[in-house]
Structure 1
Amino acid sequence: MAEAEPLAGAAGEPEGTERSRIAGEASAAAAVATSDVAEQGPAEAPQADLTAAAFFDVDNTMMMGASIFHFARGLAARKFFTTSDLLGFAWEQVKFRVGGRETDVAGHRDTALSFVAGRNVDEIVSLGEEIYDELMSDRIWAGTRALAQMHLDAGQRVWLVTATPVELALIIARRLGLTGALGTVAESVDGVYTGRLVGEILHGPAKAHAVRALAVREGLDLRRCSAYSDSVNDVPMLSAVGTAVAVNPDSELRDIAKDRGWQIRDFRTGRKAARIGVPSLLGAGAIAGAVAVGYAYRKR
């Protein structure tokens, strides 16, 4: 991806909605620049529908659990950082997913990509390919994947929209044969990550900014577009399109979807999963995964 311009210092740093706008614009620019890396579909592709597209959240919508945590687990197994670092990262993920308000995002932003600071971009991308195959490929929701394929079969482009770093999001998109991905853009200088972000994490309003910015660049009619997510934090993105679908929704999003007449698709099994909601499940899963890695290290 193209290298980002360094962010302004603390005194001139953009805040709030301006950060969201910058994050969205940067994500859309990165998505357009790299959309040609997605795997191509069948030779006999359907007639293109150039003004309609679909946007899919990743964590707990397209994939079970948090993609960035699976990535961190893979890096931990390669001794990129210590077990205590992974436990701290897991806790930050729990707070971010369960809270997800503006103050939580601001705090999470400061450490979100610190673990790749100083690392070569190409190296991280190569590791991302390996880790996807090891830890993520079997976590894709078949039902959500089928929904994405439905749009592809109709000649529409399909984009992932996620807080996950855009490089990892693009790997997931390529593996699934999708058009591309909108993700968090990490600053790099001379092909090396600085550990800072361009704008902020692509979360909440920033996702809506990214979708709108991409629509302008690609000539999309958002009234003809669809969006899919599990989280109430993605209501801004869901509200930006003509068709909103709540997939494996948390309790708040389920209520909003019912009030607004949005479609609801739940691919989880059992009533307990629907009652608990994804954020709680993610928190438990993240902690359990981190503890398991910790035990493995101590055993070695």
Structure 2
Amino acid sequence: MAADGSPAAFFDLDRTLMEGSSAFQFGRAAYKAGLLSRRQLVADGWANLMFRLRGASDESSHELRRRISESLEGTRVRDMERLGVDVLAGVLPRIYPQVLEIAYRHQDDGVRVYIVTAASQELASMLASVFAFDGAIGSQFSEVVDGVYTGTPSEPFVYGREKATAIEQLAAREGIDLASSYAYSDSASDLPMLRIVGHPVAVNPDSDLAKAAREERWEVLRFDRLGRRLKAAVGLAGAAVAGGVGSAAVAAHNRRRKGLVAKLR
């Protein structure tokens, strides 16, 4: 990307912008609306517990995609869209306020902010709208024919290398300079995304990402449950300058932002 492009900041969703799994909150809302069986909900609950304890893996992520795609078969798109309020009710209390504050500080500095997630495009776009972000990139889980999901997996599945590819495509369309951009994630599965930007930041990293962050001397942010305490580790003595907003957020930790951030605390 040309050096005269503008920077952007890309935030993963699960365990980065929010605690736990957005897919489970979707499943909870779908079960409440009668669109998901109790058996499916229990399976999603177990997957969410393992995700919270261990983080994501390639196998578990693709299995979750398959299960969601199959569960959508025969469901009207309209009925899924109507779950929005209930899904938000589960997601919003789990948002890390400090990460949201980092995103807003980016915007205040003229940096565009995007959610980039393996979760559905519908959820990603809805959250981006609620948070007044600049956009979102998410997955398509099922083909749609005549307003009904077929249950056949669709593309894109924004995971791993595909997440990096989606960002590169967005950067080409929107004139974003990736060398001056930021990316935030908790998982080693997002190493391709983190490596295409100039300022990668590991947030609550899993063990593999923590190892990579140490080796590559990236900035690391760690939160206690729901962001009650913020810690930061930097891989370089000069990372406060090179890492930009992520480090600056440490100094801003005790300041409370009006509006949505204050409501989430």
Aligned to 1:209: 165
Aligned to 1:53: 8
Q: Does 1:142 align with 2:97?
A: yes
Unaligned runs of 5+ in 1: 1-48, 275-300
Q: Report the RMSD for the aligned CA atoms in angstroms.
A: 2.5
- Specify the code of the residue in structure 1 equivalent to 2:173: R
Distance 2:67 2:29 in 1: 18
1:258 alignment counterpart: 214
For the 8 Å contact 1:50–1:156, the answer to whether it is kept is no
Instruction: Supply the distance in 1 between the matched residues of 2:74 and 2:108 (Cα, whole angstroms).
Output: 41
Deviation of 1:152 after TM superposition, in Å, equals 0.9
Change (3 A) 1:65 1:192: same
Question: Which range is displaced more, 143-152 or 69-78?
Answer: 69-78
Post-superposition CA distance 1:4-33 (Å, at most 9, x none): xxxxxxxxxxxxxxxxxxxxxxxxxxxxxx
CA drift at 1:113: 2.4
| CA distance, structure 1, for counterparts of residue 64 and residue 86 of structure 2 | 26
Name the residue aligned to 1:195. Answer: 151
Runs of 5+ unmatched residues, structure 2? 231-265
Secondary structure class of the residue paired with 1:64: coil
Give the aligned residue type for 2:198: G
Q: Distance in 1 between matches of 2:83 and 2:58?
A: 31
Q: Of residues 192, 197, 205 in structure 2, which corresponds to 1:249? A: 205
User: Aligned-pair distance for 1:177?
Assistant: 1.0
- The superposition leaves residues 107-153 of structure 1 with CA deviations (integer Å, 9 ceiling, x where unpaired) of 44332322222222232122123320x21111110110011001111
Q: Read off the aligned partner of 1:80 and give its amino acid letter.
A: L
Structure-to-structure mapping, 1:76-91, within 5 angstroms? 76-91=31-46
Task: Name the CA distance, whole Å, in 1 between partners of 2:207 and 2:59.
Answer: 22
The question of whether the paired residues in 1 share the 8 Å contact of 2:18 and 2:94 is answered with: yes
1:39 alignment counterpart: none
Residue in structure 1 matched with residue 119 of structure 2 by the alignment: 164
Q: What CA distance in whole angstroms lies between the structure 2 residues aligned with 1:195 and 1:154? A: 42
Counterpart residue number, 2:135: 180
Give the Cα separation in 2 of the matches to 1:89 and 1:107. Answer: 11
Correspondence list, 1:283-294, <5 A: none
TM-score (norm 2): 0.76
Deviates more, 1:199-208 or 1:68-77: 199-208
Q: 1:126 aligns to what?
A: 82
Contact 2:58 2:189 in 1 (8 A): no
What's the CA shift for 1:239?
0.5
Q: Which has the higher contact order (CA 8 A, sep 6+)?
A: 1
Matches within 5 A, 1:7-22: none
Following superposition, the deviation at residue 254 of structure 1 comes to 1.4
Whether the aligned pair in 2 keeps the contact of 1:121 and 1:192 (CA below 8 Å) is yes
Q: Does 1:113 align with 2:95?
A: no
The answer to whether the 8 Å contact 2:187/2:206 transfers is yes
**Structure 1 99/58 Cα, relative in aligned 2: closer, same or farther at 3 Å?**
closer
- For 2:74 and 2:132, the matched residues in 1 are separated by 31
Q: Distance in 2 between matches of 1:72 and 1:95?
A: 16
Residue aligning to 2:262: none
- Aligned partner of 2:8: which letter? A
Q: How many residues in Structure 1 have an aligned counterpart in Structure 2?
A: 223
Match of 1:62 in 2: 17
Query: What's the offset of the Cα at 1:93?
Result: 5.1
CA distance in 1, matches of 2:9, 2:153: 26
Structure 1 pair 178–231 and aligned structure 2 pair: CA distance change class (3 A): same
The 2-side partners of 1:231 and 1:66 are apart by 13
Task: Using the TM superposition, give the Cα deviation of residue 103 of structure 1 relative to its aligned residue in structure 2, in angstroms.
Answer: 4.7
Name the TM-score, length of structure 1 as normaliser: 0.68
When you count helix as a share of all residues, which structure comes out higher? 1
Could you give the per-residue CA deviations for residues 225-283 of structure 1, whole angstroms, max 9, x where no partner exists?
1000011111110001110001111122112112111111112259xx99xxxxxxxxx
